[in-house]
Amino acid sequence: QTRVLTGITTSGTPHLGNYVGAIRPAIAASRTPQVESYYFLADLHALIKVQEPERVQRSTLEIAAAWLACGLDPATVWFYRQSEIVEIPELAWFLTCVAGKGILNRAHAYKAAVDKNREEGEDDDAGINAGLFMYPVLMSADILVFNAHKVPVGRDQIQHIEMARDFAQRFNHLYGEHFVLPEALIEENVATLPGLDGRKMSKSYDNTIPLFAPRDQLKRLIYSIVTDSRLPGEPKDTEGSALFQIYQAFASEEETQAMRRAFADGIAWGEAKQALFERIDAEITPLREKYEDLMARPQDIEAILIDGARRVRERYGVGMMKRLREAVGLRDLS
Ligand code: TYM
């Protein structure tokens, strides 16, 4: 049995990047034989960035509904809120005490925040909370508490998985072989989905296309994707084209080849955008209907999450923490 685990931070509305980078490959993995899946809502991670309770709650509901609408089956997948697995922050502390501080200094998200402060002439750590610094340790605990083998993520998360391996190795070295070393699972042709402005699609850049935007908004957003100023009839580059890359993430191999030829033949940007809209809309519309239906029944989503957390803790979390407490020399609480 291979254990596959992934999470999405509940700090906003799910977007197409989350869908192609995490949700779609994770749902596909959950349907393969011999796979046991753990998919969760990273609501403790959300507190690093979002300090508005209603927003965290709203986002939790939206992301849970997105997973379910995209086909997650809570009867066969462990589906839960991170914050309800109380073993996770406890394990995060154990890992904090073996993690090299120098490694955390090099984490991309923390470094980017420091670099921004430097650019703006501020102190290195101005306005940065310690949660951002410890982010990779908490994420390692998410993965290691269930000893996951594979973690389907977008390319931006690879460094975090490498850190999880490092912390796991250090812990094993000190206390015995408790953890397997997790591996990132990257979908090659969609490793990083660009956003409206061509940079990585990200909540922090405000360049996202919400996964379940109503059709008219979806169309408007797709038409606002940046392109160069080449006219109809002029050949267009696929290299570096956000439009092309997004198309590729949604189309078959053949459709992608056809679009590549159309670019070379000078397709008008408007026409390419229409084709992209139709492609995404065809894939998302059936899911959107399920999403809207689920969002109208928040109490059902709550019940699924509460049940999922209770069962997975009983099945794995409690026993794992018992062994780890013993391994480091703490009293057994059971
Ligand atoms: P988050 O919430 O930023 O993103 C959730 C998932 O979506 C992927 N993703 C993308 N993939 C392709 N193109 C994009 N533009 C794009 N934007 C986001 C991310 O790679 C991620 O897979 N730290 C994680 C959440 C987390 C987690 C974990 C993941 C917490 N604990 C344990 C795996 C295992 C995060 O903030 O992802």
Domain-by-domain residue ranges, the chain?
2-193+297-328, 212-293
The number of C-alpha atoms within 13 Å of 283 and in the hemisphere containing its C-beta is 17
Kindly report, residue by residue over 70-125, the tens digit of the pLDDT.
999 999 999 999 999 999 999 999 999 999 999 999 999 999 999 999 999 999 99
Question: What are the residues whose beta carbons fall under 8 Å from the beta carbon of 283, sequence distance 6 or more?
Answer: 250
Phi and psi torsions of 49, nearest 5°: -105, -30
The pLDDT-based confidence of 154 (bands split at 50, 70, 90) is confident
Within 8 A by CB and 6+ apart from 84, the residues are 305, 306, 309, 310, 313
Confidence (pLDDT) at 46 = 98
- Give the separation between CA 36 and CA 27, rounded to whole angstroms: 11
Q: Output the residue whose Cα is nearest ligand 1's atom 29.
A: 7
Average pLDDT, the chain: 96
Q: How far apart are CA 95 and CA 98, in angstroms?
A: 5
Distance 333 CA to ligand 1 centre (A): 34
* Best mutation site among 157, 207, 250 for ligand 1 pocket (most ligand atoms within 8 Å of CB): 157
Report whether 160 contacts 5 (CB < 8 A). no
Q: Which helix (H) or strand (E) holds 115?
A: helix 108-119
Percentage of residues of the chain with pLDDT beyond 70: 99
Q: Is 127 helix (H, G, I), strand (E, B) or coil?
A: coil
Question: 13-50, pLDDT tens digit by residue?
Answer: 999 999 998 999 999 999 999 999 999 999 999 999 99
Give this prediction's pTM: 0.95
Distance CA 113, CA 191 (A): 23
Which of 62, 38, 50, 43 has its CA nearest to residue 211? 62
From the CB of 144, is ligand 1 less than 6 Å away? no
Verify whether ligand 1 is closer than 6 Å to residue 6 (CB atom).
yes
Q: How confident is the model at residue 334 (pLDDT cuts 50, 70, 90)?
A: confident
* Residues 259-278: tens digit of each pLDDT: 999 999 999 999 999 999 99
Nearest CA to ligand 1 atom 17: 17
CA of 258 to the centre of ligand 1 (A): 31
Is ligand 1 within 6 A of the CB of residue 192?
yes
Q: How confident is the model at residue 155 (pLDDT cuts 50, 70, 90)?
A: confident
pLDDT at 144 (0 to 100): 98
How crowded is the C-beta side of 325, counted as CA atoms within 13 Å? 14
Q: Is residue 42 within 6 Å of ligand 1 at its C-beta? A: yes
| Per-residue pLDDT at 50 | 97
Average pLDDT of span 164-179? 98
d(CA 130, CA 139) in angstroms, rounded, equals 14
Q: Is the pLDDT of residue 191 over 80?
A: no
Which atom of ligand 1 has the smallest separation from the CA of 202?
17
Residues 6+ positions from 268 with CB-CB distance below 8 Å: 231, 232, 233
User: Does 259 count as an annotated binding residue?
Assistant: no
Token pair belonging to 46: 């959300």
Residue 189 above 80 pLDDT? no
Q: Report the atom number in ligand 1 closest to the C-alpha of 11.
A: 2
Architecture of domain 212-293: Orthogonal Bundle (1.10)
Identify the CATH number of the domain defined by range 2-193+297-328.
Answer: 3.40.50.620
Whether pLDDT at 236 is above 80: yes
What confidence tier does 187 reach under pLDDT thresholds 50, 70, 90? confident
Which pLDDT band holds residue 188 (cuts at 50, 70, 90)? confident
| pLDDT score for 69 | 98
Query: Mind giving me the DSSP string for 168-208?
Result: HHHHHHHH-S--PPPEEE--GGGSS-B-TTSSBP-GGGT--
Is 150 within any annotated ligand binding site? no
Q: Confirm if 4 and 185 have CB atoms less than 8 A apart.
A: yes
